[in-house]
Chains A and B, each alone.
Chain A
């Protein structure tokens, strides 16, 4: 095998496929990236750890076709650090030589025969605009559980009904839901999938720059979802199990609504939360014209700050885990935020809106359970 490829092309390609590689794989070959040079002038890199697969095809001057397996992270590090000149790759016995300018690297070749076959992606189901997909996944995956108590809650639930896609995640303390439209291949598209949140957000971030992302949930993928954007393809194994019913979690009524400038509230909460010790909340006191944010109790450090707010309904005092509140404010993505409350002990709903007096944009909703005191 022998080929020449541009530094940037290789660096970008290998970074994409090696991004999900495990640091300490259960089987050594799973740390590898499969490099496949074809005499038609293409170079295909792929990686697979039985959960996630990634593949990319880039142009290259291929003098001699062939296939090798090398350590993925090492190849990524090397290609990123090489000077901006063409890179020559060739095999020599059990070594893979990488030459660029006057740099020379000899990498150990790993046994290709032991490498698992990448799964075939299911049939394509439709396409989403790349930026919308990335934003939506980021908005929802923050609410997925990071722990290991309930594996099912570490996933993002994707529900597709015709041209409507609903993404949803919850760790039982908060719930994030985003609705968006896409272009399904068939108008009667109907799928439900539970995608591991970490892998989904990694993939969505990496594909975000592309104009559009194809999702594949159709036939042929047994428990897999496929993503494709340009020359990049990925599959992720879906989570198994019954996702809890969450429709009843959305409050059906609103007693108090407050509209605040998102950035102002986020900054203020961030500052006040500096004195909130682990597991202690920030208290938000909404009165007409402002919300006062307080944290810290008794002999410990205390902080308070006020932010302008438009209030509709009776005053309310409610306490939140500061990080959970910040996650929502960060994710809402609009200049203004609307917070809807019923009782200090019941969930609050955060939605975004473009202007102080515009209608709320309910395509994204972040439901947050308050902190209360035991007595």
Chain B
């Protein structure tokens, strides 16, 4: 779900758009988490629905277009979203379902081309230049895709068709919801130049503000500013790249299968916590989850980092690089805990903690210097057994004793798995 919505520029010509050479497709599910959640709640279709934890302290994961009309956006604190749209129905996220749908959608992409670059669970770039002969023009392929996904998954998506990734992504964003926009090669510049600078990939709030201060409001302004001026204002690399993008120059190819650089999980507490015992327990839970995800992805990492957000929203991260790669829950927890303890916090009030495994390499090529005293069946094997139990009986069916619920559950809310 995009932070920014722009209106589509008007086309000069009334001819049907010529998609010759427009082989990059950007496919983006419409309000993915919300649409996926509504599959099992058809009664809520057409109504404002917000996906996220019900507590006022969690954030909005997604919202239906009906809720967005009230100004609800993703990553907005739930309390604020509820004030903006009090009539909205709030649904707890169902990550397992999202993952399943995402996998099915990615499988659909794979039937069209090998050149798929997923950006997240719900969006990807496809380079269809190799599929044109087999499946027809890019626009036809895009329409086919939209139909297939709507039929098979029950959710809609929007597609941008263009010659470059940058323009394709802009186009899909403008096509939302449930739309398709083709930007022919010779219309790229006129298409771009009608957009505000904030539409350009890589222009965030800070840069946008900076550009506005320079009097640059539209992409056309940017395009007609000398590149040297932009480089002075934004730095050599950023200035050059913005100028190029403003003229539709984007040489980045579609790179299949972006490798995950890190795996992690974090947790926002329902109430700020200052009890180190509970923080330790939470670190254990997050380490467990991080390690399990690393194992299921077939990755091991050497750097463990923790994130701690205090009640006043100050956030710190600390990292430690281990001697060897690991995907063992216990190793990750021991390091996370050590990092946390080393902060020497005196009952500081904590809002969020996170654990992350970085420096990932596939397990198959990660060397592990074994120790002389390690038993033939150690924690690694115990983890594997837990994974098998989780696959069969559900996540958490086997877990550390200190994570057994000792009171009615619900004290921890809003889980977010981040990758």
Which A residues fall within an 8 A CB radius of B? 170, 172-175, 244, 246, 249, 279-281, 297-298, 319, 321, 324, 345, 347, 367, 369-375
Contact = CB atoms under 8 A, between A and B. Distances in A.
B364 A172 contact: no
B327 to A, nearest CB: 6
Given A374-B300, A374-B325, A249 B373 contact: yes
Contacts of B369: 173, 279, 281, 321, 324, 369, 371
A319 B370 CA distance: 11
B97 interface: no
Interface string B364-408: 111111111100000010000000000000000000000000000
B55 interface: no
Contact of B363 (A281, A367, A370, A373): A373
Given A297-B365, A374-B364, A374-B366, A244 B373 contact: yes
A61 B130 CA distance: 95
B324 interface: yes
A170 B374 CA distance: 14
Contacts of A372: 367-368, 370
Contacts of B9: none
B365 A373 contact: yes
B226 interface: no
B328 to A, nearest CB: 9
B260 to A, nearest CB: 16
A320 B32 CA distance: 48
B372 A369 contact: yes
Contacts of A347: 372
A344 to B, nearest CB: 11
Interface of B: 298, 300, 302, 323-325, 327, 363-373, 380
B372 A249 contact: yes
A347 B369 CA distance: 11
Contacts of B298: 375
B366 A373 contact: yes
Nearest to A173: B369
A172 B371 contact: yes
A236 to B, nearest CB: 26
Contacts of A175: 372
Give the residue among A170, A279, A370 with the most B Cβ atoms within 10 A.
A279
A369 B370 CA distance: 6
Contacts of A249: 372-373
A365 to B, nearest CB: 13
What are the 4 closest A-B residue pairs judged by CB atoms, nearest first?
A: A374-B363, A172-B371, A375-B363, A375-B364
Give the residue among B363, B370, B380 with the most A Cβ atoms within 10 A.
B370
17 contacts: A172-B371, A173-B370, A173-B371, A174-B372, A279-B323, A279-B369, A297-B365, A319-B367, A321-B369, A369-B371, A370-B370, A371-B367, A372-B367, A373-B367, A374-B325, A375-B363, A375-B364
Contacts of A281: 367, 369
Contacts of B373: 172, 244, 249
A244 B365 CA distance: 32
Nearest to A277: B367
B346 to A, nearest CB: 25
Contacts of B371: 172-173, 369
A374 B372 contact: no
Given A172-B371, A172-B372, 10 more contacts: A173-B369, A173-B370, A173-B372, A279-B369, A280-B367, A321-B369, A369-B372, A373-B364, A374-B368, A375-B364
A272 to B, nearest CB: 15
Contacts of A244: 373
Contacts of B368: 371-374
A345 B366 CA distance: 15
B303 to A, nearest CB: 12
Contacts of B367: 279-281, 319, 371-373
A345 B370 contact: yes
Contacts of A173: 369-372
A321 B369 CA distance: 7
Nearest to B364: A375
Nearest to A249: B372
Contact of B327 (A174, A297, A324, A374): A374
Contacts of B366: 373-374
A369 B374 CA distance: 10
Nearest to A175: B372
Nearest to A367: B372
A213 to B, nearest CB: 30
A298 B380 CA distance: 26
Contacts of B300: 374
A240 B363 CA distance: 39
A374 B361 CA distance: 10
Contacts of A280: 367
A172 to B, nearest CB: 4
Contacts of B364: 373-375
A347 B370 CA distance: 9
A371 B370 contact: yes
A221 to B, nearest CB: 31
A351 B48 CA distance: 76
A370 B366 CA distance: 14
